[in-house]
Amino acid sequence: MVAVTEKIKSLRQQINDHNYRYYVLDDPVISDGEYDQLFRELEQLEELHPELIVPESPTQRIGAEPLEAFGTVTHRLPMMSLANAMSDDELSAFDERLKKAIDNMADIEYVSEPKLDGLAVELIYENGTFVNGSTRGDGTSGEDITANLKTINAIPLALRHDKRSIPTLLEVRGEVFIRKSDFTSLNNHREKSGEPPFANPRNAAAGSLRQLDPKITATRSLSIYCYQAGSIIGTKFNTHWEFLQSLQDWGLPVNPEVQIAAGIKQAIAYHQQLETRRNDLPYEIDGSVIKVNSLSLQNTVGVRSRTPRWAIAGKFKAQQATTVINDIISSVGRTGAVTPVAKLEAVEVGGVTVTNATLHNQDEIDRKDIRIGDTVVVERSGDVIPKVIKVISAKRPARTKPYHLPASCPVCGHELHRPEDEVVYRCHNHACPAQIKGHLQHFVSKNAMDIDGVGEKLIEQLVDQDLIHTVNDLFHLDQATLAGLERMGEKSASNALASITSAKATTFARFVFALGIRHVGEHTAKIIEQAFQGDFEKFRYASFDELENIDEIGPIVAESIIRFWQDGANKKIVEACFEMGITFQEHPEMLPQTLAGKTFVFTGSLEIYTRKAAQELVESRGARTSSSVSKNTDHVVAGAGAGSKLAKAKEMGISVLTEQEFENLLKEQEL
Ligand code: IVH
């Protein structure tokens, strides 16, 4: 029993330490998989010994029963809000007011912090244990959301005391938010399951915290940064900076972007710099917060009724504006997806003039009831296409009608289809001029048919002059036609022809990939080649079940292939390609698929192999290769001069191999 007690204690300690490294120090040392392993081990032991479970065990974050309603919590000290400064001048005026108030013209030291766009909460720790958490509410009292806050892994259930002793009472305020990437996956998931997406990360965070069932909150990947003291008993600080440092020592996450500014000039420089980086940060912010660092000086200048005099929020330029929808058109993308686009009365948003905004799809239009003539709020963030956030219904003119996407492709007239698993309508006509350029570019690309004499410019000309309509038309081109094109001499025409001709001798996988069947990428094309042993006829007439039975091919891919062949135009294109002399190289000898399911990333310069050869070596054994490191990466092979990918792999605890180790791994495969 002693051994079990010790083991459980050690597992809890390890899990808490890893959380701390991950959320506070931003320096994890184990992979997600290893973390999950520890967690499962603890869960199993606690299941066998329920008498040893304590409320602050990391396994106890989820599990509280759903509530009927939230209780009310009165804040010991009111949770104030911040006065806003809309310009640099207003920030300078804030500094001057303070200097006047203290009758001293020396520079005031500030702490600059990002102004997170989430939801303010208060956390209460008594003798180091998390006992209560609440929303800001009206500032005086808020809702008791303790159970929901407990599900946020970044919030320690017990404070650390290895670096600094713990106060009897610690009230700390912070912002709960959702990272942009977590927001995107949450909304993707919601769309797939037919739930309305959240309009922005702030709403997503607020909606998640206000769930009566903490189990739902637990699925939401919420984050938190702490930034302000409430009432504290048992410790004293001289500065706000010292307070923030102490929070980190106690295991509470503080935004790593916080900085000391020696005077208002530096604070303004920080603000401007942050605005330029705004869209690169992994979470949304709407300004910077500038706080007097000295706590005694804060005391001297004091507070107004709702806002402190010692702090100010410098706001960034709004990324939203109001304008009118003059028209709605549909644009057809390279993959045939039809996207409704609102043509707007020109409006300036965050310093850029906006005239178009995406309306995403019919579901979005219906949900927001967007109509031509409506006054709408548009938002622009980062490089993304501006979007319509909502309709201001009070401003709707009389006699507007709900908007419906056209039933046929606005470019070629082909009937539009909506695949069952999707929200977009698609034009399946491969000869649709809106798609043909994209198809051709894909068809000739390096990893497809590799026709390097035919580039983007030439494709533009050929399609615009009606010389080709489908990919197989490429094989009909002749010297005279090509040489007759603008900016094409005899020489470049014959180069183009030569590369078209030599590309006819290709491989099964390249050709299948080149066809641009939805969901059939390079890797899937290779799997198909292996599965049908290079027999195109077998692939051509394969049933849904035959396809779905292939390892790594699921129902979506199988369905997409079947749909591709149902389209008569596609059949004709493929037949025409064969008639024009497409041939496949002998089906390569199938190696044992010893690396199936593994993903490799190669980075830096390799010496033993070329990058391409190394990739082919692992792919021929069933592995995938990728150009970026993610949690799906199994091995990163790093050559000389490897940089950010190597750093990321180390940070994420992913296996990093030298080229020599990689070679050893390949040798092991051959045994
Ligand atoms: S300090 C007395 N610091 O802004 C000071 N607030 O308008 C109270 N906020 O309700 C807040 N980032 O939701 C502070 N680094 C930061 C902040 C921040 C975002 C929010 C918070 C607060 C609102 C005040």
Give the separation between CA 230 and CA 124, rounded to whole angstroms: 9
Clarify whether residues 308 and 325 are in a common domain. no
3-state secondary structure at position 67: coil
Closest to 352 in 3D by CA, of 388, 382, 376, 392: 382
What spacing in Å lies between the alpha carbon of 115 and ligand 1's midpoint? 7
Q: How far apart are CA 32 and CA 652, in angstroms?
A: 8
Last residue of a domain, one of 248, 282, 315: 315
| The one catalytic residue among 115, 150, 315, 526 | 115
Distance, CA of 130 to CA of 63 (rounded, Å): 16
The CA-atom distances, in angstroms, between 331 and each of 406, 423, 425, 428, 517 are: 11, 15, 11, 14, 21
Atom of ligand 1 nearest to the CA of 119: 13
The alpha carbon torsion through 498, 499, 505, 507 (nearest 10 deg) reads 180
- Choose one of 460, 486, 503: the last residue of a domain: 503
For residues 248 and 166, membership in a common domain is answered with yes
Strand residue runs (E) in 119-167: 119-126, 129-135, 141-143
Atom of ligand 1 nearest to the CA of 313: 7
Cα 164 from Cα 250, distance rounded (Å) = 7
Q: Which of 531, 556, 584 is the last residue of a domain?
A: 584
pLDDT for the residue numbered 628: 84
Q: For residue 82, how far is its CA from the centre of ligand 1 (angstroms)?
A: 6
For ligand 1, atom 14, name the residue with the nearest CA.
227
In 394-458, beta strands by DSSP E: 416-417, 425-427
The predicted structure's pLDDT at residue 544? 95
Q: What is the DSSP letter of 284?
A: -
Take atom 22 of ligand 1 and give the residue whose Cα is closest. 81
The pTM of the whole model exceeds 0.85: no
d(CA 290, CA 259) in angstroms, rounded, equals 10
Please say if the pLDDT value at position 381 is more than 70. Answer: no
Q: Tell me, in angstroms, the distance from the centre of ligand 1 to residue 584's CA.
A: 64
Residue type, 182: D
161 lies in the same domain as 176: yes
- Closest residue by Cα to atom 1, ligand 1, is 228
Average pLDDT over residues 472-483: 94
Give Cα separations from 140 to 78, 117, 305 (angstroms). Answer: 5, 21, 12
Among 77, 81, 121, the mutation site with the greatest number of ligand 1 atoms within 8 A of its Cβ is 81
Yes or no: say if 413 and 223 are a contact pair by the CB < 8 Å rule: no
Q: How many A from CA of 254 to the centre of ligand 1?
A: 13
Ligand 1 centre distance from Cα of residue 118 (Å): 9
Please state, in angstroms and rounded to a whole number, the distance separating the CA atoms of residues 75 and 395. Answer: 40
pLDDT tens-digit map of 428-440: 887 788 888 888 9
* CATH number of domain containing 609: 3.40.50.10190
If one residue of 82, 121, 228, 283 were mutated to test the ligand 1 pocket, choosing by the most ligand atoms within 8 A of its CB, it would be 82
Residue nearest atom 21 of ligand 1, based on CA coordinates? 120
Ligand 1 nearest atom to the CA of residue 120, by list position: 13
Partnered with residue 339 across adjacent β-strands are 331
**Residue 255 alpha carbon, nearest atom of ligand 1:** 15
Q: What is the pLDDT of residue 214?
A: 94
Nearest atom (ligand 1) to Cα of 81: 24
Return the residue matching tokens 């698609």: 426
Task: Please name the residues in contact with 262: beta carbons below 8 A apart, sequence gap of 6 or more.
Answer: 107, 109
**Which positions ≥6 away from 9 have C-beta within 8 Å?**
none
CATH number at residue 24: 1.10.287.610
Contact 668, 648 (CB under 8 A): no
| Count of CB atoms situated within 10 Å of the CB of 121 | 25
- For residue 148, with 0-12 CB atoms within 10 Å meaning exposed, 13-18 middle and 19 or more buried, which class applies? buried
The DSSP code for 340 is E
Q: How many domains are there within the chain? A: 6
* Ligand 1 mean position, distance from CA 19 (Å): 25
Whether the per-residue pLDDT at 590 is higher than 70: the answer is no
Whether 373 maps to a domain, the answer reads yes
d(CA 445, ligand 1 centre) in Å:
51
The verdict on 348 and 304 lying in the same domain is no
Supply the pLDDT for residue 587: 58
Closest of 353, 361, 357 to residue 385, by C-alpha: 357
**Strand pairing class (223-233; 169-177):** antiparallel
Q: What is the CATH number of the domain that holds 548?
A: 1.10.150.20
Please check whether residue 414 lies inside any domain of the structure. Answer: no
615 in the same domain as 548: no
Q: Does the annotation count 115 as an active-site position?
A: yes
Identify which of 116, 243, 312 to mutate to test ligand 1's pocket (most ligand atoms within 8 A of the CB): 116
Q: Which of 167, 159, 170 is nearest to 235 (CA)?
A: 167
Which CA distances in Å does 167 have to 132, 154, 230?
16, 20, 13
Q: Is 490 left (phi over 0), alpha (psi -120 to 50) or beta?
A: alpha
Going from the C-alpha of 496 to that of each of 435, 445, 488, 583, the distances in angstroms are: 22, 14, 10, 19
Q: What is the pLDDT of residue 375?
A: 96
Alpha-carbon distance of 99 to 93, in angstroms, equals 10
Distance 305 CA to ligand 1 centre (A): 16
What pLDDT, on a 0 to 100 scale, did the predictor assign at position 596? 83
Q: Is 614 helix (H, G, I), strand (E, B) or coil?
A: helix
282 and 56 Cβ atoms separated by less than 8 Å: no
The H or E element that residue 635 is part of is strand 635-638
Q: Which CA distances in Å does 169 have to 42, 57, 124, 583, 610? A: 29, 21, 7, 77, 61
Q: Is 70 exceeded by the pLDDT of residue 141?
A: yes
In a domain, 50, yes or no: yes
Cα 481 to middle of ligand 1, angstroms:
67
Q: Which of 79, 84, 115, 305 to mutate to test the pocket of ligand 1 (most atoms within 8 A of CB)?
A: 115
Residue with tokens 């990272």: 179
Range 597-626 average pLDDT? 87
pLDDT (average), residues 338-367: 91
Give residues with Cβ within 8 angstroms of 77, minimum separation 6: 171, 230, 231
Q: What is the pLDDT of residues 382-422, one digit of tens each?
A: 556 798 999 999 999 999 999 999 999 998 999 998 877 77
Containing structural domain, residue 184: 84-315
Q: Which residues pair with 74 in a beta bridge?
A: 141
Residue 588 clears pLDDT 60, i.e. is over it? no
What pLDDT sits at residue 146? 96
β pairing state of 84-85 and 320-332: unpaired
Residues lining ligand 1, Cβ inside 6 A: 80-82, 113, 115-116, 120, 136, 175, 227-228, 289, 308, 311, 313
Q: What percent of the chain has pLDDT over 70?
A: 99
**Whether pLDDT at 627 is above 90:** no
Contact 574, 541 (CB under 8 A): no
Kindly report, residue by residue over 189-211, the tens digit of the pLDDT.
888 777 888 878 899 999 999 99
Residues in the chain: 671
- Please tell me which residue, 396 or 30, carries the higher pLDDT value: 396
Strand order in the sheet with 624-626: 624-626, 599-603, 635-638, 655-657
Residue whose CA lies nearest to ligand 1 atom number 18: 115
Residue 269 lies in a domain: yes
Task: Give the Å distance between the CA of 93 and the centre of ligand 1.
Answer: 20
Centre of ligand 1 to C-alpha 213, Å, is 27
For residues 336 and 432, the answer to whether their CB atoms sit within 8 Å is yes
The whole-angstrom distance between residue 615's C-alpha and the CA centroid of its chain comes to 27
Asked whether the predicted pLDDT for residue 112 surpasses 80, the reply is yes
Same domain flag for 138 and 285 = yes
User: Any alpha helices (H) in 331-470, and if so which ranges?
Assistant: 362-368, 433-444, 456-464
Index of the ligand 1 atom closest to the CA of residue 117: 19
pLDDT at 336: 87
Taking the C-alpha atoms of residue 390 and residue 197, their distance in angstroms, rounded to an integer, is: 13
Are 498 and 526 in the same domain? no
Based on C-alpha coordinates, what's the Rg of the chain?
Answer: 30
Question: Do 220 and 126 share a structural domain?
Answer: yes
Are 7 and 45 in contact, with CB atoms under 8 Å apart?
yes
Nearest CA to ligand 1 atom 23: 81
Q: State the average pLDDT for the chain.
A: 91
Q: What percent of the chain has pLDDT over 90?
A: 69
89 and 44 inside one domain: no
Residue 415 resides in a domain: no
Instruction: Give me the pLDDT at residue 589, please.
Output: 61
Same domain, 120 and 12: no
**Each residue's pLDDT tens digit, 307-338:** 999 999 999 987 889 999 999 999 888 778 99
> How many Å separate Cα 545 from the centre of its chain?
34
**Residue 348 and residue 227 share a domain:** no
Is 72 inside any structural domain?
no
Which pLDDT band holds residue 592 (cuts at 50, 70, 90)? confident
Q: Are residues 32 and 145 in the same domain?
A: no
- Give every CB contact of residue 33 below 8 A, 6+ residues apart in sequence: none
CATH code, 355? 2.40.50.140
Residue 150 has pLDDT above 80, yes or no: yes
- Position 383 scores a pLDDT of 53
To test the pocket of ligand 1, the residue of 289, 291, 305, 307 to mutate (highest count of ligand atoms within 8 Å of its CB) is 289
Q: Which atom of ligand 1 is nearest to the CA of 136?
A: 10
The answer to whether residue 390 sits within a structural domain is yes
257 in any annotated domain: yes
The residue contributing the CA closest to ligand 1 atom 16 is 115
Q: What is the enclosing helix (H) or strand (E) of 92?
A: helix 88-101
Ligand 1 atom closest to Cα of 113?
15
C-alpha 120/C-alpha 226 separation (Å) is 9
